[in-house]
A and B are shown apart, each in its own frame.
Chain A
Amino acid sequence: MTDTDSVEVNRPAARPRPDIGIKATGLTVDFPIYDANSRSLRHVLMLNPVANAMRGASHVGGTIAQGSRGAMVVRAIDGMSFEIAKGERVGIIGHNGAGKTTLLRTVAGIYEPTGGKLETVGRIMPLFNLMEGMMPDATGREFIRIRGILLGLEPSQIDALTEEVIDFCELGVYIDMPVRTYSTGMLVRLAFALATSVTSDILLFDELIGAGDARFVERAEARLQTFVKRSSIVVVATHSAAVMQKWCTRAFLLDHGKIVHDGGVVEVLKTYAKRRAAEGA
């Protein structure tokens, strides 16, 4: 694996590397539509005046357009340009289908841009699904090992992490029971402890999680805070104004795959509220 893919265990990550950052210029991501009924979709687009007016008029979803070879494409990210420097915590807000998840996945390197340029420097850690790799018959301890392997850690690093995670999640004897016997709250505890036990330079979240009992939530917040502090850049997609105000130093308002407002959290939240009021949604 390359340097950008690897992660490190609980060391104050972000050894000062001045060049850590994300830079996008004219970033574009087009999704092809290959469904068996894409023909009928085309049919709908041509015959239905509402659908025909979709270009720019719909409240949800990316812009539907004609691709280069005549196939339908959804333009999920439409020529975005931005620069995120070291130390910034960016919150991404916008309605469903505005492009939040796609943008995160593109920054994570999962989708390669179909247009424009994206440069990222630093180790990237996407935390989209905390339950990744969870197998119901594995015990909590096995799950920690599986996640460790999924994150590309060495066995020695996994051992170091195991004790720390078990300590934090306080599952007691349950740590050696199959994961399927866990309650949802217990699952979240374990997954959360695991996800926050490994740090890297650039953290990507798709919605921050908040579950578990009150005492755990408090401890979780404290842990998340130090976790976030250890990484140089945090990008989080969220619907919650509270999360934004608490965690972010900068905000992007996304609409139809474009950044319509890039600025301080308070102003962007204001714009978002205004637009929503205007849409009557």
Chain B
Amino acid sequence: MQIILLRVNERQIVKAVQDIWTGLRAWRLWSLFGFNDVKMRYRRSTLGPFWVSLSTGTQILVMGFVMTFLFHNSPERYLPFLCISMVLWNMLVAMVTEGSNAFIGAADLILQIKRPLFVYLFQGIWRNTIVGAHTIIIFFAVAFLFGLFPGPTYLLAIPGLVLFMLNGIWMSGFVAILSTRFRDIPMIVINAFTVLFWLTPVLYEANQVSGAMAHVVKFNPFYHILEVLRAPLLLAWPTALNWLVALGSALIGWVMLIALFARSRERIPYWL
């Protein structure tokens, strides 16, 4: 990381930050692109993007049913937990893994006209936000069914969402840049997430594990990134450690992203 930082100059950093900022401000572009992606994926189907709601819903219900029996969990506690965990996890994974295709998939557009490159990154983030919004319906339905109505902790979900997204975006951007140059990265990322799925408390709660596993969980930033948003929605308070790790990961991540982007921005069109 220090080496990466040392090899960028001030002009490159300024240009990179400019790209990110003007890219963010071109919201008309990325919201249009992202929305069209969703539209194209489900075009001419009757349910449209509600297919994701339906498939995620069935998957979670069946999983919840099996897990309740397997671990003798109480469904009224476990099902809402499983729902929100799966929804948030799927969203994070989709943002990062699809990030690997952000620039490669937009090659035609990038070689057409000069635009901020981050437009194409935000396009994927927006696409997955739309999909996420369709699946979170499942959680609210299940939560209300078991009497988990919005409470004061919901206020904390707002900064939680901000941290969650900030982390998702830097990871997505990092993967996007590296994947454009090294085409093996997408496969590595997908594999990493299958492993991380089991090492992160998604199917189980953090306090259900003990010993060495408890340490693995504690040192896993993905747990904390998930928890700052998940806990408030389950009417619990995230711990100070959750906040600290999620915040720290966002800060370090963004510094790394900007450094990497500063170094590679002008080369990205050449790598396509």
Q: Which of A34, A109, A110 has the most CB of B within 10 A?
A: A110
A105 & B111 in contact (Cβ 8 Å cutoff): yes
26 A-B residue pairings within 8 Å (CB atoms): A1-B22, A1-B25, A5-B114, A5-B115, A32-B271, A34-B181, A36-B183, A105-B269, A110-B111, A110-B114, A110-B269, A111-B269, A111-B270, A112-B266, A112-B269, A124-B114, A128-B111, A128-B112, A128-B113, A132-B109, A137-B39, A137-B43, A149-B28, A149-B29, A150-B113, A152-B29
Cβ of A168 within 8 Å of any chain B Cβ, yes or no, is no
Cβ of A247 within 8 Å of any chain B Cβ, yes or no, is no
B28 & A31 in contact (Cβ 8 Å cutoff): no
| Residues from 175 to 234 in A contacting B, C-beta threshold 8 Å | none
| Residues from 233 to 253 in B contacting A, C-beta threshold 8 Å | none
Which chain A residues lie closer than 8 Å to B44 at the CB level?
A: 137
Cβ of A146 within 8 Å of any chain B Cβ, yes or no, is yes
Known: A149-B29, A150-B29, A152-B26. A108 touches B181 (CB 8 A): no
Chain B contributes a number of interface residues (CB within 8 A of A) equal to 26
CB distance from A164 to the nearest CB of B (A): 21
Which chain A residues lie closer than 8 Å to B111 at the CB level?
A: 105, 110, 128
Which chain B residues lie closer than 8 Å to A1 at the CB level?
A: 22, 25-26, 116
| Residues from 1 to 46 in A contacting B, C-beta threshold 8 Å | 1-2, 5, 31-32, 34, 36
CB distance from A202 to the nearest CB of B (A): 12
CB distance from A74 to the nearest CB of B (A): 10
Q: Knowing that A34-B271, A135-B36 are A-B contacts, what are 8 other residue pairs whose CB atoms are under 8 Å apart, sorted by A's residue number?
A: A1-B26, A1-B116, A2-B22, A110-B113, A126-B114, A137-B40, A137-B43, A149-B29
Known: A137-B43, A149-B28, A152-B26. A126 touches B113 (CB 8 A): yes
Give the size range of A's interface with the partner: 20 to 34
Known: A110-B111, A126-B113, A152-B26. A32 touches B270 (CB 8 A): yes
Cβ of B32 within 8 Å of any chain A Cβ, yes or no, is yes
Main secondary structure of the interface of A (DSSP, over half): loop
Known: A110-B113, A129-B112. A149 touches B32 (CB 8 A): yes
A31 & B40 in contact (Cβ 8 Å cutoff): no
Residues of A near any B CB (own CB < 8 A): 1-2, 5, 31-32, 34, 36, 105, 108-112, 124, 126, 128-129, 132-133, 135, 137, 146, 149-150, 152
A109 to B43, CA, bound (A): 35
Cβ of B110 within 8 Å of any chain A Cβ, yes or no, is yes
A146 to B33, CA, bound (A): 9
Main secondary structure of the interface of B (DSSP, over half): helix
Which chain A residues lie closer than 8 Å to B39 at the CB level?
A: 137
A160 to B236, CA, bound (A): 53
Known: A31-B270, A34-B181. A146 touches B112 (CB 8 A): no
A108 & B28 in contact (Cβ 8 Å cutoff): no
Closest A residue to B32 by beta carbon equals A149
Closest B residue to A114 by beta carbon equals B270
Known: A135-B40, A137-B40. A109 touches B112 (CB 8 A): no
A109 to B114, CA, bound (A): 6
A2 to B116, CA, bound (A): 11
Cβ of B10 within 8 Å of any chain A Cβ, yes or no, is no
A150 to B106, CA, bound (A): 13
Which chain B residues lie closer than 8 Å to A105 at the CB level?
A: 111, 269
Which chain B residues lie closer than 8 Å to A124 at the CB level?
A: 114
A5 to B25, CA, bound (A): 14
B108 & A129 in contact (Cβ 8 Å cutoff): yes
CB distance from B184 to the nearest CB of A (A): 10
Chain A to chain B: the 9 pairs with minimum beta-carbon distance, closest first: A112-B266, A109-B114, A149-B28, A126-B113, A132-B112, A149-B32, A110-B114, A110-B269, A111-B269
Known: A1-B26, A137-B40, A137-B43. A126 touches B32 (CB 8 A): no
Which chain B residues lie closer than 8 Å to A111 at the CB level?
A: 269-270
Which chain A residues lie closer than 8 Å to B271 at the CB level?
A: 32, 34
A23 to B271, CA, bound (A): 26
Interface string of B2-37 (1 = CB under 8 A from A): 000000000000000000001001101100100010
A12 to B25, CA, bound (A): 28
A91 to B28, CA, bound (A): 35
CB distance from A30 to the nearest CB of B (A): 8
Which chain B residues lie closer than 8 Å to A110 at the CB level?
A: 110-114, 269
CB distance from B3 to the nearest CB of A (A): 16
Task: Select one of A36, A112, A126, A137 contacting B112, CB under 8 A.
Answer: A126
